[in-house]
Structure 1
Amino acid sequence: MRTARALLAEREGVYGVLPEWIEAVEPAVLKATGAPAPGDLGGEQLRRWGSSEVWRLSYGLRSVIVKRGSDTQSTEGTAYERYVRPLRLPAPELIELVHLDGAVLLVMEDVGRVTLEQEPSLEGFLAAVDLLAEIRSVPVDGASEFDADRLSDLAARVAEGRPEPASGLVERVENRLRPAVADLHRMVRPRVVHGDYVGKNLVTDGRRWTPVDWPLTYLAPQLPDLYTLTREAVALGHDRDHLVTRYCEAAGTDRTLVERQTLIGGCGFTLRALAWVIEEGVHTVPSSKDWITPLLDELDGLLDQLP
């Protein structure tokens, strides 16, 4: 039920087009922006999906990002508590966290108005590679959260949800991907994975780049983040070899190992994306059903590259 205050605010034009849930984080927003009252705030909607809504609220030159996440997007607060804050990862400062009606509301530092998706320059992709090497250089305590069993579970869920186009998927994952993942886990300690390391989640203020949107973060030795970043860069005409070479130099690691981590990470990324689309995306983002066949084809190509 809408509160009397919210109804009054709407009638008086205090919130304008802003959603009612922003009222729950109003004190933190006013303090961070210095706005005297809610009616003095400017609002710009940056994104609205079924499980995520993002706004920029501003007063003069000061602004914050306010997010509401549900379903898979509701875990960003946990990611900040477990990884981002204690490991001092390059991410926006979390100013306020509120749980409300099965969702999480976050007030965050505004780290810039331009994304790598909007301005996909080579310099931006190279900066993103350097940031990724920085994130992966941070030692962490804890076991991998994306091992062979997790991959087998994802493959089973995808096959169950789409039995015809996913025919034979479980067998291929068990016979080819599972041994490769198990072997990698014996060789490499887990590090932080952002989980959605793509252009729309890399933001610049003109001076520095910052990864945003951390709800899918986990620990693993794989490199899905490098896979998704170079995948996008290649689609835009950039040279993959240049980016991977830059990563190896920045991380001080072996090229053969990085390629192996990236390939296995790509398999995990496509499986995870397929499971999300089939189980959630088709309901929250109906157009995502068109991603299923291309993702299955992409996964087939990656599995073919495994030894």
Structure 2
Amino acid sequence: MVAAWTFMGSATIAKDTSFTIPAGASVASIAEKLEAEGLISSASSFVLQARVFGADTPIQAGEFLLSPDMGQGDILAAFQNGDVIRRFITIPEGMPSVLVWERLMAEPLLTGEVPVPPEGSILPDTYSFERGQSRASLVEQMQTAMDRALAEEWAARKPGIAVDTMRDALTLASIVEKETGKPEERRMVAGLYSNRVRTGMKLQADPTIIYPITKGKPLGRRIKQSEIAAVNGYNTYTRVGLPEGPITNPGRASIAAVLNPQTTQALYMVADGTGGHWFADTLAEHNANVAKWYAIRRERGEM
């Protein structure tokens, strides 16, 4: 079969080349495009060979990578098998929906318009897509992944947790996600906030102050006293309990931490200067930790 293909026509691929087949394209139009782009020697011979040797397997739409070592038979097989080029887009843990939207809109190989997704509806992960795929279909894939992950983690939740619904778990997980950059702290931070929820203490989570101001983007400055005192649906310095909804898109690890938090008596935490926190059970212990943090900041010239 290879000899017949070579006899009747040949591929002329000089270097790795991207080739796109639109949906609904005929074998004849594909062959003409291959010839016009200098990838085969004869469109008519390619069509004839496809009829003789291509069986009844249809050609798939998409973007394909053609390489110099490929013959015409290899090209047809790639088209029939759907060996399309897969591209990837990564949504980091804790990326708010407005930044997810900006990343999607900035990807030139995606098509169509989409609104900013609801906060907390996107599962941070790396997703593959094809050239020309719609942004709406990719958002749907990301949201389906979040729905599935949340349901799976909820089904495995620890008894006696501080949240009663998957929505509340997602909201608390978004706070945990924003409050610590250290994976090993997630369950401890989740345990601390779970204690505050149970006892009716205000969560006093700084990211909930920032969210109504920037929709999750970096504030770029210190929080003002007027912002700490602001009354809205998110600021946990002026409201008891959880904010009205998520403040970012939490990763699966933060969701799992909320649904299986560390057992602790801690109610307070403050930065320790390394990206992590000191935790305290009592206000007196917390005040001592705060004094240590202020000393670190003075050494750095921040105060």
The TM-score bracket by the shorter chain reads under 0.3
Greater helix share, 1 or 2?
1
Greater strand share, 1 or 2?
1
TM-score between both structures, scaled by the size of structure 1 = 0.26
